[in-house]
């Protein structure tokens, strides 16, 4: 809007406004096309998000806020709970329209409102879906009677998760066979020894999920104080 007001009322101004409307229409049309598509092509997503971003730049704050809420948003990783998949200092992109028709799949990395304080947002991996029966013994996750293969778990505890006697627990949730409620999910951090997750505070309701993390767009090592270029562009 600021750009439009800075220009004289002329054919240029009208052309800009008409273009903005056309871009918005294109965005809505493309958005409708993928309503039933679980994994839309990157071309459709790029075209739609670009149109929405340009319109947000022209119109200003309200539209930009809507765009971040419903489509694409950046999220900063402030802890080590998702190592090695996500490192402290990573900046990730979330697709906030990913779950409008279908819920998360097992293995998805999601951003959600922390159940004990919804002013905060956490990022964890979905391991239990609605209706799943799960339990944890000796740090080993068993889903529907079968140990879950988890290659993404931090190596320091991977051996414990993949084997050993099923003897102990010690968490508030999952020690006994537990059925995941409808429209809820059981989430864990990949760094199991240093993660506050569903083992401690329970399930994540679907309506509290912000979006699915799908890529690292920047990474900064807080200890060495330099970029981690090798992590930039990594798919999740």
Residues 180, 31: Cα–Cα separation, whole Å: 31
Residues 88, 102: Cα–Cα separation, whole Å: 30
Catalytic-residue membership of 154: no
Catalytic-residue membership of 124: yes
Set 48, 81, 184, 195: catalytic member: 81
Residues 148, 138: Cα–Cα separation, whole Å: 13
The structure tokens listed for 124 are 């964890």
Q: 73 has which bridge partners?
A: 94
Set 48, 97, 124, 154: catalytic member: 124
Give the active site residues: 81, 124
């Amino acid at each position: 809007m600021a750009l439009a007001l800075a220009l004289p009322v002329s054919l240029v101004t009208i052309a800009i406004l008409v273009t903005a409307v056309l871009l918005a229409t294109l965005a809505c049309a493309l958005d409708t096309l993928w309503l039933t598509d679980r994994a839309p092509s990157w071309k459709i997503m790029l075209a739609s998000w670009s149109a929405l971003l340009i319109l947000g730049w022209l119109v200003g704050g309200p539209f930009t806020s809507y765009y971040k809420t419903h489509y694409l948003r950046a999220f900063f990783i402030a802890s080590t709970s998702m190592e090695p998949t996500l490192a402290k200092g990573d900046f990730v992109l979330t697709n906030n329209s990913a779950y409008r028709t279908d819920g998360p799949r097992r293995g998805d990395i999601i951003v959600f409102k922390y159940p004990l304080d919804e002013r905060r947002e956490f990022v964890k991996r979905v391991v239990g879906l609605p209706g799943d029966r799960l339990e944890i013994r000796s740090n080993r996750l068993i889903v529907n009677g079968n140990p879950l293969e988890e290659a993404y778990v931090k190596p320091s505890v991977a051996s414990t998760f993949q084997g050993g006697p099923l003897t102990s627990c010690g968490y508030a949730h999952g020690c006994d066979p537990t059925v995941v409620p409808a429209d809820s999910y059981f989430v864990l951090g990949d760094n199991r020894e240093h993660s506050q997750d569903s083992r401690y505070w329970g399930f994540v309701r679907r309506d509290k999920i912000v979006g699915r993390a799908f890529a690292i767009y920047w990474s900064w090592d807080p200890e060495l104080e330099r970029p981690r270029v090798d992590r930039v562009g990594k798919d999740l």
